[in-house]
């Protein structure tokens, strides 16, 4: 069978339709933005508990951040250079009554009323680990580094009929800050543990080398360099189609990028290196439903046991 772009799109649309008809996804009228049913949410919560149990021996610090990020923090990173097409900036109305009347008149005329808005102090969070780094700014890490357990809603502006490519979704992350050796060990350990966790719930994921979707001509060179240095790996599993499996978890080794950007240091004064593992919670739930069926009461016994269903 010849796999074409249209074939893949048709598979995404069929998958989306099935999930909506089953009541698991609740459409909003915008591609990539869904409400989630109680059954869907229960699976997400149970998988998260499994991850917590499997990572409990690490005694990670637990932090939870909102889906919005300090704009100043955002601008300390190069996200705007690397991923301008994915970012989300929060704007609000700050004018007077006359400005408000002009805004309403523009809306009523079908004009672009958003021109009356001004940037707020926040951006949409582009990755769950971004809010962590300012908390470690200008401090020396302990000799064994830090391991932090994070979860956050993350926004990426990439509307799609692929139900696994949501514009706002949850990432559960474990981040290591420390020496190069500590960061690399963290990445290797969690890639293996991640495969084991997914296997427990019946998902036979594969580890593949990957790159982030850097923007533009310069981005192509950055993507190639990222692959050449083995900095990013994904754990992929078929969701909508076997021909194009979905990354349901990923791990990035950032080198000393965040250590330099936020002045995070190891005890000897060197910029800290960081690495993270991220589980895409909605994507993993989707993979479970598409693999085992839409009713968890009929899932395989070993999967039910792993999720305490």
CATH of the domain at 161: 3.30.930.10
Burial 50-88 (b: 16+ CB within 10 A, else e): bbeeebeebebeebebebbbeeebbebbebeebbeebbb
**pLDDT score of 138:** 83
- Same domain? 199 vs 272: yes
- Same domain? 66 vs 83: yes
pTM (two decimals): 0.96
pLDDT tens for the chain, 309 residues: list them: 556 889 999 999 999 999 999 999 999 999 999 999 999 999 999 999 999 999 999 999 999 999 999 999 999 999 999 999 999 999 999 999 999 999 999 999 999 999 999 999 999 999 999 999 999 998 889 999 999 999 999 999 999 999 999 999 999 999 999 999 999 999 999 999 999 999 999 999 999 999 999 999 999 999 999 999 999 999 999 999 999 999 999 999 999 999 999 999 999 999 999 999 999 999 999 999 999 999 999 999 999 999 998
- Same domain? 115 vs 263: no
- Same domain? 55 vs 182: yes
Instruction: Choose one of 76, 103, 124: the last residue of a domain.
Output: 124
- Same domain? 273 vs 155: yes
The structural domain count of the chain equals 2
- Same domain? 117 vs 70: no
CB atoms within 10 A of CB 17: 13
- Same domain? 203 vs 103: no
- Same domain? 142 vs 204: yes
**pLDDT score of 31:** 96
Instruction: Choose one of 124, 145, 172: the last residue of a domain.
Output: 124
- Same domain? 111 vs 236: no
Structure tokens belonging to residue 139: 């401090």
- Contact predicate 17/282, CB 8 Å: no
- Same domain? 255 vs 115: no
- Same domain? 207 vs 298: yes
- Contact predicate 303/292, CB 8 Å: yes
- Domain hosting 242: range is 5-88+126-306
- Same domain? 205 vs 108: no
């Amino acid at each position: 069978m010849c796999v074409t772009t249209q074939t893949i799109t048709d598979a995404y649309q069929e998958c989306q339709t099935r999930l909506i008809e089953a009541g698991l996804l609740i459409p909003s009228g915008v591609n990539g933005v869904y409400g989630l049913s109680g059954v869907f949410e229960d699976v997400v919560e149970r998988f998260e508990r499994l991850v917590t149990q499997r990572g409990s021996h690490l005694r990670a610090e637990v932090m939870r951040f909102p889906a919005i990020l300090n704009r100043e923090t955002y601008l300390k990173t190069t996200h705007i250079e690397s991923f301008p097409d994915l970012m989300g900036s929060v704007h609000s109305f700050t004018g007077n009554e006359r400005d408000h009347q002009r805004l309403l008149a523009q809306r009523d005329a079908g004009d672009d009323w958003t021109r009356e808005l001004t940037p707020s102090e926040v951006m949409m969070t582009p990755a769950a680990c971004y809010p962590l780094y300012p908390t470690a700014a200008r401090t020396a890490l302990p000799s064994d580094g830090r391991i932090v357990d994070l979860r956050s809603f993350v926004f990426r502006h990439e509307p799609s009929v692929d139900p696994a490519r949501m514009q706002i979704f949850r990432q559960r992350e474990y981040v290591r800050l420390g020496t190069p050796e500590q960061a690399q060990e963290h990445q290797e350990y969690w890639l293996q543990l991640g495969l084991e966790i997914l296997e427990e719930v019946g998902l036979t994921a594969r580890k593949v080398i990957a790159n982030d979707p850097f923007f533009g001509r310069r981005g192509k060179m950055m993507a190639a360099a990222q692959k050449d240095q083995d900095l990013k790996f994904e754990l992929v599993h078929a969701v909508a189609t076997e021909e194009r499996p979905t990354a349901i978890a990923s791990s990035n080794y950032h080198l000393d990028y965040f250590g330099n950007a936020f002045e995070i240091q190891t005890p000897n004064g060197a910029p800290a290196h960081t690495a993270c593992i991220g589980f895409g919670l909605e994507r993993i739930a989707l993979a479970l439903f598409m693999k085992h069926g839409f009713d968890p009461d009929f899932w395989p016994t070993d999967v039910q046991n792993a999720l305490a269903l």
